[in-house]
Structure 1
Amino acid sequence: MRKMKANIVPLRFRDADEKEFYRILDALKEIYQEEVSFLEPRTAGDELPEDADAVLFPVMWTNVYTEMDKLLRTIHVPSIVLTTTVGVSLMFDWEAVAYMKQKGLQVFNPHSVELAKTVFKALALKRDMKHQKFLVFHDSKGEGLIPEQFKIFYWWNDECIRDMKEKFGITIVHKSYKALGEKARLIPDDAAREEMERWDFQEEVPYERPVLSAVKLFMAIRDEVDAEGDVVGCGANCLNEGFFSETTPCLAWSLLYQDRGIFWVCESDTSSLMTEYLIGSTIDCSLFTTNIYPFLSGMPALSHEKIQEFPDVADPDDHALLVHCGYLGCVAQAMAKKWTLRPPVLGWHSWNIVGENSIVVDAEVETGDITLCKLRSDFNGLFVEKAVLEEYVQYPGSDCRNGGLIRVPDGYKLMEDICSHHMIVTTGKRTCQMKAVAEIFGLEVF
């Protein structure tokens, strides 16, 4: 996928030193060359080009106070203040930044290069997203193997599709999962074996057919992605309509990300896909979608995962399990520290829900600080919660073969604020970056 860059107009205050302005601007061009297309510099107060995503102030000056009316009249995009050759701003500029915000300008004053890059990426994404697509494969809205669960999910509703389009501009294209499965079946085994030679992944599946089927499904999805064009995210109703495919698309998710930069989500959950794409495109970290089971949710969570009790911890009210299809989540190989394909886990009543020919990803990311996030159903807010991934826990014979044990600051607050059983998890402390992305897209953080 092509590299998105933000169109940024450097602004110089009329009385500021021109030599200093270009000295700092030249350094910023070097630091942010991958994230920014620097347009021709202009004088503060001049009219801006129509394709400007934001303005940049490499040097602050007293004109910010004396010419504020002129700035308010001409600046209708975000302002970014970066006033040093190391890519951040001077502490002496904080008062001017606060003044600009108080007067009504939207100003970003990144304290780190990492945060500044997130801001630039979010600006570029906001523009380019209007021309992009999600390609989602399913044949019904909630019907299937377990309609009593799936029909309640909001992402099937026309309101969800409409609101997502209005908020972000992205187009959702639906295609048949049944037709995709049939296309994958027609791919010869030898073609799948040849494709496998391109990849290096670990698998512990006792016989060849499940892995070959998974590779065929990847090849079929890849063809659909290329034929459609401008696809940045995919999903499939892989669990509830598993009878349409010989296998599960877990491997396809990983290979599509490595091959095309395509994000993937399970169960056709376009709301989670939108969250994943928004955060994954702007923040450099590992991320994945999974199910969250707060200990406070009690017996329904235990019975769903077929386990007798939660892990024994000192403060259980502030803990949760992260588990999806038996393991941590459908993590791309490029984002994991450990990654292996295994036979399927999930059962429903007395039968295997995804079929014996399926595969599942058993992956781990680094333990330590993580950040949870999820777009609210109305797409006007972003749930953000810092947490710690403490360890991995195993329950043999259950639907939690290798899940993540996490601790949050306040489990009761988590239960009040949570907006979905699906949760997007990122590695590291990402709250500040997520707040910046949310502000650019007009989202309230809660």
Structure 2
Amino acid sequence: MPSHVPGTSERAGHHLTDPAPGAGARTGAHAGPGVVPPARLLPVHLEDEPQPAFLEQLEHLRRLSGDLVRWMEPVPIARAVGTSASAVVLPDLSGLAYRALEHFRAIEVPLLIVTSEFGTVSMWDWEIRDYLRRRGVPTTAPTSLQEFHDVVRALSVKERLAGASMLAYQDDLGAGQQPDIFKRFYWWEEECVHDLRERLGVQVQRRSYRELVARAGAVPQARVDAEAARLEGDVPIHGLSARARGDALRIKLALSDELDETPGVIAAGINCLNESRTSSTTPCLAWNLLFEERGLIWGCEADLTSMVTKFLTWESLRTPVMMTNLYPFLMGGAALKHERIPYFPAVEEPHNHVLAAHCGFFGIVPRSWATQWSVRPRVLEIVDENAHALDARFPTGDITIVKIDSTMRTLTATPAELPGYEQYEDSDCLNGAVLRVQDGYRFVEKLPSHHAVLAVGDVVRRLEVVSPLLGVSLERI
């Protein structure tokens, strides 16, 4: 493989809410990162026939929803029972709602109240919504156009989950590197796989990491060279040998081939650290390229719970997400020793701060979401010296720490702030993020895992709106 390919120039990230415009075509059954199948909404009117106000508001909703919705033909509320729609939407309400309670109760799909021309609930409908809620009829009523869009995307996500697959490449399940740590993780348990299927409809396919590496090794050199030429000058890489670059692209091409052969894959992960002796490379660059080109969600260490958390959050809210390790300052020496750092940064209220770092840097961030991004040689000693990692950053400012719990019934969400990054020479944290939370003690007590998903912005309210549509509750930490 040519030693100068890909390029090594640095550049700032771009499009923090819209991944890589024009990057990658759709392949087989796999939609690219900007493609969301539309939700199917059934407009319902309370009168026997649709009235002018209903028709006018429905036109507003058609315009506001764009390609996110496939609208069904309107029906009277009595005919909404048993619908196959993603949800029923009420574009117009009146006092007839108080006399249609039993019809409302008979509707089994989510019920949306979107009665203003701005894509929100009308203030005049709060009484009707309260009346329904107190009589056992939950509704969803967006307070902004953004929330309306979140809602319809979440409806689509819920339907996509049914029968979708996540791939987990692993062989030894904790018996490899650092077994004292890896033997503890819930995402390898059969109960986790069972609950993902029963609660969310997601199927987990466990595949051999060794077989994937063998397939990567059999990729013809001509394909590797063609991939390198395609990326030339566009992917900044520093300090990697020609072999290291070639091996990184081989694993990407092998994964891409497997995705072509497997319909319905929404995420994939590799037990890359624990089983690092299996491969001379790491999948970091591959995960970046596969997300940018085909929208594939990735899972470091084959963490199923992080993978599904990222899928739910990104696909519903379309805000950038990534996974990383959390090291609360409260954990003191236990955290410092693991990252091989001498001290935490000097901050006010250290008990309310968390260091976020993974594999020597912040973690895997797709390039289109990063403010800084490059591929660098590996940092952790447990991976092959030929391996690599991504040195990337999210924008500073508001951030939300999200993770699904072990029952697959609750999303935990913590509003936080990312004021900056910290670097430690000769450590396992060459570039980590410093996060500030409101209550560090409560955070440590309630968080579900050392692996967490970070979402750009304060999106707790938005998660609260979409959670019921995804079939989960929301717990704010």
TM-score range, shorter chain: over 0.9
Residues 1:370 and 2:404 are matched in the alignment: no
For 2:53 and 2:275, locate their aligned partners in 1 and report how far apart those are by CA, in whole Å. 62
Structure 2 residue aligned with 1:98? 130
- Unmatched 5+ stretches in structure 2: 1-30
Structure 2 residue aligned with 1:273? 307
Question: Residue 391 of structure 1: CA displacement?
Answer: 0.3
The equivalent position to 1:355 in structure 2, one of 379, 384, 406, is: 384
Deviations 1:46-86 (A, max 9, x none): 2445321211111111111122123223x111111111222
- What secondary structure sits across from 1:143 in the alignment? coil
The equivalent position to 1:419 in structure 2, one of 431, 439, 448, is: 448
Structure 2 residue aligned with 1:66? 99
Residues 1:221 and 2:255 are matched in the alignment: yes
For 2:49 and 2:263, locate their aligned partners in 1 and report how far apart those are by CA, in whole Å. 47
Question: Residue 131 of structure 1: CA displacement?
Answer: 2.1
Residues 1:81 and 2:113 are matched in the alignment: yes
Structure 2 residue aligned with 1:162? 194
Look up the equivalent residue of 2:385 and give its one-letter code: E
The equivalent position to 1:330 in structure 2, one of 334, 353, 364, is: 364
For 1:143 and 1:57, locate their aligned partners in 2 and report how far apart those are by CA, in whole Å. 55
Question: Residue 392 of structure 1: CA displacement?
Answer: 0.7
For 1:443 and 1:128, locate their aligned partners in 2 and report how far apart those are by CA, in whole Å. 15
- What secondary structure sits across from 1:289 in the alignment? strand
For 2:358 and 2:345, locate their aligned partners in 1 and report how far apart those are by CA, in whole Å. 17
Q: Which moved more, 1:166-175 or 1:126-135?
A: 126-135
Look up the equivalent residue of 2:217 and give its one-letter code: R
Deviations 1:340-359 (A, max 9, x none): 00000012xxxxx1111111
Question: Residue 16 of structure 1: CA displacement?
Answer: 8.6
Question: Residue 444 of structure 1: CA displacement?
Answer: 2.8
Deviations 1:390-420 (A, max 9, x none): 1011001111101000100000110110110
Structure 2 residue aligned with 1:314? 348
Residues 1:397 and 2:426 are matched in the alignment: yes
Are the equivalent residues in 2 in contact too, given 1:369–1:386 (CA < 8 A)?
Answer: yes
For 1:138 and 1:340, locate their aligned partners in 2 and report how far apart those are by CA, in whole Å. 27
- What secondary structure sits across from 2:430 in the alignment? strand
The equivalent position to 1:175 in structure 2, one of 191, 197, 207, is: 207
| Greater relative contact order structure (CA < 8 Å, 6+ sep) | 2
Are the equivalent residues in 2 in contact too, given 1:202–1:340 (CA < 8 A)?
Answer: yes
Structure 2 residue aligned with 1:388? 417
Q: CA RMSD in A?
A: 1.4
Look up the equivalent residue of 2:199 and give its one-letter code: K
Please show how residues 246-257 of structure 1 align to structure 2 within 5 Å. Answer: 246-257=280-291
What is the percent sequence identity of the aligned residues?
Answer: 35
Q: Which runs of 4+ in 1 moved over 4 A?
A: none
- Unmatched 5+ stretches in structure 1: 348-352
TM-score, length of structure 1 as denominator length: 0.96
- What secondary structure sits across from 2:408 in the alignment? coil
Q: Which moved more, 1:308-317 or 1:191-200?
A: 191-200
Deviations 1:341-398 (A, max 9, x none): 0000012xxxxx1111111000011100000011111112111100000101100111
Structure 2 residue aligned with 1:230? 264
Structure 2 residue aligned with 1:197? 229
The equivalent position to 1:136 in structure 2, one of 146, 168, 173, is: 168
- What secondary structure sits across from 1:405 in the alignment? strand
The equivalent position to 1:239 in structure 2, one of 273, 287, 294, is: 273
The equivalent position to 1:3 in structure 2, one of 10, 29, 36, is: 36
For 1:5 and 1:61, locate their aligned partners in 2 and report how far apart those are by CA, in whole Å. 29
TM-score, length of structure 2 as denominator length: 0.90
